[in-house]
Chain A
Amino acid sequence: MDFTLPDSLVQLRDKTRTFIREVVIPYEKDPRRTAHGPSDELRSELIAHARETGLLSPHVDTSLGGLGLPHIGRAVIFEAAGYSMLGPVALNCAAPDEGNMHLMQAVASTEQKERWLKPLAEGKTRSCFCMTEPSPGAGSDPTLLKTTAINDGDDFVINGRKWLITGADGAAFTIIMARTIVDDVDVGSLLTCPIRVFASNARWTRSIHRSPAATLKSGWRTCGCPKRTCLAKSVKGFATHRYASFRRA
């Protein structure tokens, strides 16, 4: 058993620690750091510093401008980034964007990557993930999923109610978990969708934590969503174990 980290990773960790200490921590007292995290202006400023230092998007493939780190590298660099609550924002590896980038790298088509993932990986946009539904919809039990996406010509028509969506305010797009009905057959799926479909009938709620944005409760919405925005992979049903493996795909 050898717990020695590669020299290149040790150097990157030390560089990250210095960046957090000298550049990021001084921003913790910045008035643009609000009760719900940094303003978009402060976020952009932090990201510009990380980009300049060569630390942006450590978890993203080098082909998309990231550092292309394997899991062990992410474990080490994410810990160093987390030393300041603003660190993951600066490095563009904060939730929920980091998980969305990870998922899209694994399952998105070339076209989807170009449209959604690339600007996200470059730190130019934010995203969110619509999963949880109010009762009697899905919470910890994804088999209760009520939101549907039914194909209608070239579109998927999404019908559903989602809430507890971290980062919804200002997100460029969302990934939505829905029962996807294709030619009357129910296949589970994830769809990417512009966030403006949720722009109306939204309700905000305060949360105990102060991650980059508040929680959004959205009402019933229907939207036309082009078929090509459906993430490539689909699974039959949403049995928990399938869902769990899917999220980590």
Chain B
Amino acid sequence: MRWLGAAQRAHDIAVAYAQKREAFGHPIVAHEGIGFMLADNEIDLHTTRLSIWHTAWLLDTGERASAQSSMVKVHASEAIWRIVDRCVQVLGGMGVTADTEVERIFRDVRAFRIYDGPSEVHRWSIARRLGRTTQ
């Protein structure tokens, strides 16, 4: 939720940069190496937003949504990490300086995969549920 907003911000900064920065005769967004990274960002933003909304909707209907909460926590934290990491890459050397907000977001977002249950604990919980399920 909050981190998704931060990832969207980093993505918007990276897109704006890729539109105006030129290399080899084109804006860098026209090079697939860059354009595909930004396309992957769009995919991660979209799927993360949808899975958050679905879990929120379940909770609002009174469901406990334990499994969905675990899944969306892992998915969101890892997708957001990928998005912000790609933004740093698109910005090149500037990505690792404090000249844009992306560097600050990049530092902060790493902890999201650890606190509120690291990815491994949530995966453990999902797998344990699978172990109990009768097929």
Contact = CB atoms under 8 A, between A and B. Distances in A.
Contacts of B1: 74-75, 78-79, 82
A213 to B, nearest CB: 13
Interface in A124-180: 140, 166
A244 B124 CA distance: 13
Nearest to A247: B116
Interface stretch (B15-23, B24-32, B102-110): B102-110
A79 B117 contact: no
Contact of B6 (A3, A28, A72, A82): A82
Given A140-B121, A244-B117, A83 B111 contact: no
A85 interface: yes
Contact count band on B: 20 to 34
Among the interface residues B5, B56, B59, which one has the most CB atoms of the partner chain A within 10 A? B5
A208 B2 contact: no
A218 B60 CA distance: 38
B122 to A, nearest CB: 9
A6 to B, nearest CB: 12
A209 interface: yes
Contacts of A85: 6, 101, 104-105, 108
13 contacts: A71-B56, A72-B60, A79-B1, A81-B5, A82-B9, A85-B104, A95-B115, A209-B111, A210-B104, A210-B108, A240-B121, A240-B125, A245-B64
Interface of A: 3, 28, 70-72, 74-75, 78-85, 87-88, 93-95, 140, 166, 207-211, 240-241, 244-245, 248
